[in-house]
Amino acid sequence: MRALITGSKGFVGRYLRAELEQNGYDVLGLDLAADEKTLCADLLDPEAARQAVAQAAPDIIIHLAGQADVGLSWRQPQRTVEINVVGALNLMGAVRTCAPAAHLVLVGSSDQYGDLGAAGQCVTEALPMRPRSPYGVSKKAQEEFGAVYARAYGLHICMTRSFNHGGAGQREGFLIPDFAAGIVRVEKGMADTVKVGNLTSKRDFTHVRDVVRAYRLLAEAGRPGEVYNVGSGTAHSAQEILDALCAMARCPIRVEQDPARMRPSDTPVICCDHTKLTADTGWQPILPLERILRDTLDYYRAKD
C-alpha cells in the first residue's frame, strides 16, 4: 500500500510518516523541497499537483500542507486562502484525474468552530461553525469543498476538525512549547522568569502520536463525505499545564504575568467529543497529558 503525505516535513508530518511506515505503508512525502522519500511540488500549481499524484500513485493521501498560523492569517488573509483552499482544490482535482480510488483525508482545525460559549464543553460535529479568523474561514472552506467533491465526483474524501495537539518537535508559538521553552531558559540561566498570559481557559490537548494514528485510521476506515473531530475528550486549564511543567523543572520557576499576553478567552472551555471518530474507526487516545509535557520539555532541553 502506498501513502502520500502533503506537508510531510512539518511537525505532524514527521510523526505521520513513522506511523504509516510502522503499519506497512510505503510512504512518499510531497513538499516544496525534494529528497529520496519526498516529491517536490507546489500545490498552488495544478499541473504540478497532478504530476505529483500521478507519480505517487497513492492508495491513501493525508493532506497536512497548509498555512496554520492564525496570527499570520490576519496579516496575509489572501495568501492563507490561496494555500489552504486553492491548494486543497488542486490536490482534489489531481486525485480525481490521477487517483480516483485513493482515500483522501483533509486535515482541518477546531478553529473552524469559532466562539462556542457554553457549547465548547462538549463539541460535536453537529455544532454550527462560526470561524473568527481568516485561518478558520479557510479551513471551513477546505472542508466544504471536500464534501462537495466527495458528493459530486464520488471521491473517497473525509475531513477532520483537529483540536490542540503536541509533543516533541512542536515549535514555540503554542501554549505548551512556550511554557516548556520558557522553563528551559530558566533552567539554563538564560532567563529569570517564565512570562505567561491568561491561565484560566481550558483546552483539549492530544499527543501528536495519537493524532496521527487517528489520521491513519480515518484514511483506512473513515466514511467519504464525513467530518470527524480529533481530540482527547479531556480539557485542561493553562494553569494546570503550567503547574505540571513547573513540577517537572530542575529548579524553582518564577512565573510572571505579562500584560501583553493577557487576551480574554471567548470560550472558557473547549473540549472535543470524539464519539463519531471512535464509532467509525475504534480510535481512542492512549498517551496522557503528562507524556505531552514531558516529551516537549525534554525536546527543548536537548536543543542547542
Q: Determine the Cα–Cα distance for residues 65 and 7; give it in Å rounded to an integer.
A: 4
* Mean pLDDT along residues 117-135: 91
pLDDT at 266: 59
Predicted confidence (pLDDT) at residue 140 exceeds the cutoff of 90: yes
Q: Which of 149-153, 223-227, 300-304 has the lowest mean pLDDT?
A: 300-304
* Mean pLDDT along residues 159-174: 96
At residue 235, φ and ψ (nearest 5 deg) are: -110, 145
Domain chopping of the chain, boundaries: 2-166+205-232
Q: Are 201 and 269 in contact (CB under 8 A)?
A: yes
pTM of the model: 0.96
Quote the cell numbers at residue 277: 471518530
* Mean pLDDT along residues 140-164: 98
Quote the cell numbers at residue 232: 482527547
Write the pLDDT tens digit of every residue in 187-220.
Answer: 999 999 999 988 998 999 999 999 999 999 999 9
* Mean pLDDT along residues 134-142: 97
pLDDT at 14: 97
Strands 202-207 and 269-270: parallel
Quote the cell numbers at residue 283: 480510535
| pLDDT band (50, 70, 90) for residue 34 | confident
Q: Are 291 and 222 in contact (CB under 8 A)?
A: no
Predicted confidence (pLDDT) at residue 21 exceeds the cutoff of 90: yes
| pLDDT band (50, 70, 90) for residue 263 | low
Q: Determine the Cα–Cα distance for residues 23 and 209; give it in Å rounded to an integer.
A: 13
Q: Determine the Cα–Cα distance for residues 89 and 62; give it in Å rounded to an integer.
A: 14
| pLDDT band (50, 70, 90) for residue 264 | low
* Mean pLDDT along residues 263-278: 84
Burial class (CB in 10 A: 0-12, 13-18, 19+), 28: buried
Question: What does the radius of gyration of the chain's CA atoms come to, in whole angstroms?
Answer: 19
* Arithmetic mean of pLDDT over the chain: 95
pLDDT at 258: 79
Q: Are 103 and 220 in contact (CB under 8 A)?
A: yes
pLDDT at 120: 84
* Mean pLDDT along residues 120-132: 93
pLDDT at 99: 98
CATH number of 2-166+205-232: 3.40.50.720
* Mean pLDDT along residues 35-40: 93
